[in-house]
Structure 1
C-alpha cells in the first residue's frame, strides 16, 4: 500500500512526542561474564561483559550496563524527600506508622494499592531514577523489592505490584531500556507475560532451590548472584554454561575494600 506525501504530512502532527522518542532496547548477552557493583563502582575485570551499578552511578563504555532501581521502596537517603513531597505514596500500617523494611532501616514501602497511586509513583520514579539511568549510559534497569507484597501481608498484593511494575516497564521501554525482574519467583510467568519483564536477576536461587523456576520463564536470559561459596559452586556445576552466575559478599563492597568477595563461573 502506498501513502501520499500529503497524507503523511496530515498524520504526522498527531503522532505523540513519546512515540517519536521511543527507542529499541536490547537484552543482556546470555551467559556473559557478570559483575555486581551495588556497594560502589570500580574497574571490573577485563572479561566482564555485563555490569550492574546503582542508579546514582554511571554505565561503563564497552559493557552491557544494568542500572539498579529500588522501585518498590525508598532509599535511606531519600526518606525525608518522600515524606516532604509525597507522604501519601508511602505505605502506612493500621496505626498510621510508615511501613519500614525491618532488614533495611530507613527504607519505607511504597503504596501501590490504588491505580491513582501507581500512576503517581511512576510519575515520580520514572523521571527521578529511570531517566537518569538512560542518560548515564545504561542499557537496562533491574527493579528491586518487587516482593513487598509478601512482606506486607494484608496490605499489598501481588496484583498491586504487577500492575505498578507494568507501568514502570513501559516507561523504561519507552526510554530504550530493557527491564529485569528482581527476585520474586512467586510471580511465575506473570512477570514476563503481564509486567513485561525482559530478563531476570535472582539472588540466592540455588540456596532456595528456585533457579529452574526462573529459567522455566526466562530461559537463559537470567543473571544469578549467590552469597555462599558452596551454593555458588553447585549452581556453576548445574547451569554455569547457560546463564551468568557470580559469587559476591553480602554487602557487595567495592574491590579493594575489606570483605570484598567476587568469583564467576
Structure 2
C-alpha cells in the first residue's frame, strides 16, 4: 500500500457539503441489491479460524441494534477492546499484545491475529488505474473526476445500476480473495466519495454499492467495517448492514461517540496527532475514546523507518 492511503479524515471534513450532513436515506438493502440485479456471491469461509477471543457474533457482543440492522450472520467481529495496528504502508510482525491488524488486500493476514483486509471500493488505487475500464470511472466535463487530496485516485461512477454492477464485478474477487487468504474481515474505504463528486453522485448511489459489497463479504464469511464517513454511520449500519467501524482521528475530531452509538465496542480508531492540538495520551483519556485505539505515523511506515510511530493507549 502506498502512502496515498494515509488519513482522509481532515480532507473529508474540510470539503463535506452541508447537504450531505442533512441527507436522509430511504434506500433499503434489498432494494439496492435488486437495483444492481446481482445475486449474492457465496464463497467458502477461510480455513484459518479467528482467535478464540474474537469468536463472537453480533448477537452475542453488541448492544441492541436498530431494528433495520441485519440479524446475527455468524461472522466473527473484531475482539472488543483489543489493541490494533494499522499496517497499510506494508506488513510487518505486530508488536506483542496486538490483537487486531489491518493490512492491504495485497498483503497476507497476520498469523494468529484477527486480520482486517483493506479494500478501496469507491476510488481507484494508485498504480491500478489500468485495471479499470473507462466506463467505471466518473467523468465530468469530459475528464475523470479525481480526489482533490489524492490526485492519483479517480472516483468510481456509482450513479447507475449498470455502473455499480461493473464495479461490483471488479471488486468481488478482491473480497473473496481476502476470505480465501484467511482474513476475518474487510474494510471499505472512500464510502463518502460522493462528497467529492461535484454533485454527480449521491449518498444513495454509494449506499446501494456498499450494500452489495456487504452482501458479498457476508457470503464469504467476512465481517464488514465502515471506514470513516461518520455523518453516514446510521445509513451504513442500518441500510447497508456494516458490522463495525474503522475510523481515522475520531478522537481528534470528537466523532467517536457517533460510531459507538451504532457499533458499540466494535470501533477501531487510528490517530495521527499532527492534526490535533492534543497529545495522544489526552486523546486516549477522552470519555468516548474507543478501547481499540492506536497512534500511527501518517505514512504508516514499517518499524525501522525514521518516521515510524506506533503507540497504544496506556492503562485507563
Aligned twin of 2:32: none
Aligned partner of 1:200 among 233, 245, 251: 245
Q: For 2:238 and 2:222, locate their aligned partners in 1 and report how far apart those are by CA, in whole Å.
A: 18
Would the aligned equivalents of 2:248 and 2:270 in 1 still touch at CA under 8 Å?
yes
Q: How does 1:147-162 map to 2 (within 5 A)?
A: 147-162=192-207
Q: Once superposed, what is the RMSD of the aligned Cα atoms?
A: 2.0
CA distance 1:192–1:31, change in 2 (3 Å): same
Q: For 1:81 and 1:218, locate their aligned partners in 2 and report how far apart those are by CA, in whole Å.
A: 34
Q: Secondary structure at the match of 2:285?
A: helix
Q: Deviations over 1:50-105 (max 9, x none)?
A: 000001000122100000101110111111221xxx21010011x11001112223
CA distance 1:20–1:141, change in 2 (3 Å): closer
Would the aligned equivalents of 2:45 and 2:180 in 1 still touch at CA under 8 Å?
no
Q: Secondary structure at the match of 2:294?
A: strand
Does residue 57 (structure 1) correspond to residue 107 (structure 2)? The answer is: yes
Q: For 1:22 and 1:34, locate their aligned partners in 2 and report how far apart those are by CA, in whole Å.
A: 23
Would the aligned equivalents of 1:76 and 1:105 in 2 still touch at CA under 8 Å?
no
Q: For 1:100 and 1:173, locate their aligned partners in 2 and report how far apart those are by CA, in whole Å.
A: 30
Aligned twin of 2:219: 174
Q: Secondary structure at the match of 2:121?
A: coil
Aligned twin of 2:31: none
Q: Deviations over 1:18-71 (max 9, x none)?
A: 668578421000010110000011111121110000010001221000001011
Aligned twin of 1:91: 138
Would the aligned equivalents of 1:226 and 1:232 in 2 still touch at CA under 8 Å?
yes
Return the index of the structure with the highest Cα Rg: 1
Q: For 1:139 and 1:207, locate their aligned partners in 2 and report how far apart those are by CA, in whole Å.
A: 28
Provide the TM-score with structure 2 as the length reference: 0.73
CA distance 1:249–1:241, change in 2 (3 Å): closer
Does residue 115 (structure 1) correspond to residue 178 (structure 2)? The answer is: no
Task: Give the Å deviation of 1:188.
Answer: 3.1
Q: For 2:126 and 2:182, locate their aligned partners in 1 and report how far apart those are by CA, in whole Å.
A: 24
Q: Deviations over 1:126-184 (max 9, x none)?
A: 11x11221121210011001111112131111111111000000001111110000000
Where structure 1 has 5 or more consecutive residues not aligned to the other structure, the ranges are: 1-15
Q: For 1:26 and 1:104, locate their aligned partners in 2 and report how far apart those are by CA, in whole Å.
A: 33
Q: For 2:83 and 2:250, locate their aligned partners in 1 and report how far apart those are by CA, in whole Å.
A: 18
Task: Give the Å deviation of 1:238.
Answer: 2.0
Q: How does 1:1-265 map to 2 (within 5 A)?
A: 21=44, 24-82=74-132, 86-93=133-140, 95-127=141-173, 129-228=174-273, 230=278, 232-239=280-287, 243-265=291-313
CA distance 1:181–1:20, change in 2 (3 Å): closer
Would the aligned equivalents of 1:31 and 1:241 in 2 still touch at CA under 8 Å?
no
Q: For 1:17 and 1:217, locate their aligned partners in 2 and report how far apart those are by CA, in whole Å.
A: 25
Provide the TM-score with structure 1 as the length reference: 0.87
Would the aligned equivalents of 1:207 and 1:231 in 2 still touch at CA under 8 Å?
no
Q: For 1:51 and 1:225, locate their aligned partners in 2 and report how far apart those are by CA, in whole Å.
A: 12
Task: Give the Å deviation of 1:240.
Answer: 7.8
